[in-house]
């Protein structure tokens, strides 16, 4: 997900302060990886420079002066175009899991041990996500489902790779 387009989308609802944008981003999109304040304001600065948002005059508050940001027609056009285009199909044919298995085999390391450790790591994360799904709000449950489905696909891949590990070892050692 791109942070600039997400912030533009949030601004398309209504003009907002940077603090409010960060709060909304973290609530809906930043589970486990909140957006740093510095990134919010640097992104807003670039969007303003590019004519996609406009910053209102500084307003005094309890803390530092605040600026309310609003999306411009150019920014709205970009959000609408982004929302209309489908996301790229993932995953791509290059993954860290695959790379580690092939390199382990090429270097004479125990690739099966790596796959076993990776399976245990995935299973642990799946238990954590299942708990979030059970105890969380709808947004949290849907994000957990998305992650769970990806982990399930990885586990299927680990099973298939384990079954073919001998043949893969022969292939990469001959190359």
Instruction: Give the strands of the sheet with 16-17, arranged side by side.
Output: 16-17, 68-71, 53-55
Domain that holds residue 138: 96-174
**pLDDT under 50: residue ranges of the chain:** none
Q: Please tell me whether residues 13 and 55 are part of one structural domain.
A: yes
- Within a domain: residue 91? no
Using one digit for the tens of pLDDT, what is the confidence trace for 41-61?
A: 999 999 999 999 999 887 776
Q: Please tell me whether residues 100 and 169 are part of one structural domain.
A: yes
Report whether 129 contacts 89 (CB < 8 A): no
**How far is it, in rounded angstroms, from Cα 84 to Cα 79?**
9
- Within a domain: residue 52? yes
Which of 157, 129, 158 has its CA nearest to residue 145? 129
Q: Please tell me whether residues 102 and 165 are part of one structural domain.
A: yes
Q: Please tell me whether residues 117 and 159 are part of one structural domain.
A: yes
pTM score above 0.75: no
């Amino acid at each position: 997900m791109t942070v600039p387009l997400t912030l533009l989308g949030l601004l398309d609802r209504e003009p907002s302060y940077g603090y409010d944008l960060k709060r909304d981003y973290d609530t809906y999109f930043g589970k486990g990886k909140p957006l740093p304040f510095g990134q919010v304001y640097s992104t807003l600065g670039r969007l303003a420079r590019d004519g996609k948002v406009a910053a209102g005059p500084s307003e005094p508050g309890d803390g530092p002066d605040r600026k309310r940001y609003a999306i411009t027609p150019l920014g709205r056009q970009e959000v609408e175009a982004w929302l209309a285009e489908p996301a790229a199909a993932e995953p791509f044919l290059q993954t860290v899991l695959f790379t580690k298995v092939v390199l382990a085999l090429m270097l004479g390391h125990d690739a099966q041990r790596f796959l076993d450790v990776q399976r245990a790591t995935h299973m642990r994360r799946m238990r954590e996500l299942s708990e979030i799904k059970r105890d969380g709000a709808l947004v949290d449950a849907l994000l957990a489902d998305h992650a769970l489905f990806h982990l399930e696909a990885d586990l299927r891949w680990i099973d298939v790779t384990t079954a073919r590990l001998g043949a893969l070892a022969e292939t990469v050692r001959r190359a």
